[in-house]
Amino acid sequence: MQIISAKTENKLATVGLWSVGIFILMLLAAFLGYILYKGLPVLNFHFIFGKSCDIMAGGGVGSQLFNSFYMLFLSMAISIPLAVGAGIYLAEYARENFLTKCIRLSVESLATVPSIVLGLFGMIIFVNKMHMGFSILGGALTLVLLNLPMLVRVTEESIRTVPKSYEEASLALGATKLQTILKVILPCALPGIITGITLTAGRILGETAILIFTAGTSVSRFMYDTNLMSGGETLAVHLWYLMSVGLVPDREMIADGIGALLILTILVFNLLLALPVKYFGRHAK
């Protein structure tokens, strides 16, 4: 039996991996291309910033777009400090004991909980028990539960990738533990943390199950309402609502526009956050 040479095996593996990569790129291009082809003609100033309508055709998604970013900001403002603090504790201060194992197990368990279960939990606690109703605040607080597991794990792993020699050199020069973390370790770990924030933000913008049960499927009668107790329907929830129980005659056209707007929003958001990753990654070397 003829044995294949190592050089031939390497070429076959290279071709196979390139084929898989090209197939994934083509699949993504076809997916994005179809959505943008259907939705881009719908996008205009009135559609993006106008007020939605439940019955008549020609409504916009201005309130839903505002709510999407408003709840993203609120949930991240709560999640990031908690997650970064927990990640620093697990990576730098925590010893391998029962408490540390419980914390890691809790984080990993929370990450595996389906989003619809978190939505039901948020409805029971925030909507019913705390009497918040279907509101922006209730949705944002529930989204915090969705954000924390990924952000904690990403922060911890990013800190652990920083060479130990950096910390030892800083401590040898007379810096305290806190100064070393703030001035040396966190700047080096920041690209990885920002990447985790980017992935989490994209997931929030496309989340529906949690927000249906906590933020509701309605918006305030005022455009761009910052009241935390007002209805918090987002773009993704509005898309679901239109295609399930929507009564507007042009609901399919609006759904196509929302799909394209969501894709463009997430792409632009990712690009804006990718610039700091490159900047800090270059200066951390």
Q: Kindly list the domain boundaries of the chain, sorted by start residue.
A: 42-283
How long, in residues, is the chain?
285
pLDDT value for 58: 80
Residue 219 DSSP symbol:
B
pLDDT digits (tens, 9 = 90+) for 136-150: 999 999 999 998 998
Percentage of residues of the chain with pLDDT beyond 70: 95
Query: pLDDT-derived band of residue 73, with 50, 70 and 90 as boundaries?
Result: very high
Does pLDDT of 133 surpass 50?
A: yes
pLDDT value for 1: 45
- Using left for φ > 0, alpha for ψ between -120 and 50, and beta otherwise, residue 175 falls in beta
Calpha distance 282→285 (Å, rounded) = 6
pLDDT value for 276: 66
Does pLDDT of 2 surpass 60?
A: no
pLDDT digits (tens, 9 = 90+) for 175-219: 888 888 888 898 888 888 888 888 888 888 888 889 999 998 888
Calpha distance 12→18 (Å, rounded) = 10
Question: In the predicted model, what is the mean pLDDT of residues 246-269?
Answer: 87
Does pLDDT of 99 surpass 90?
A: no
CATH number for 42-283 (one of 3.40.50.2000, 1.10.3720.10, 1.50.10.150, 3.40.50.720): it is 1.10.3720.10
Question: In the predicted model, what is the mean pLDDT of residues 49-65?
Answer: 85
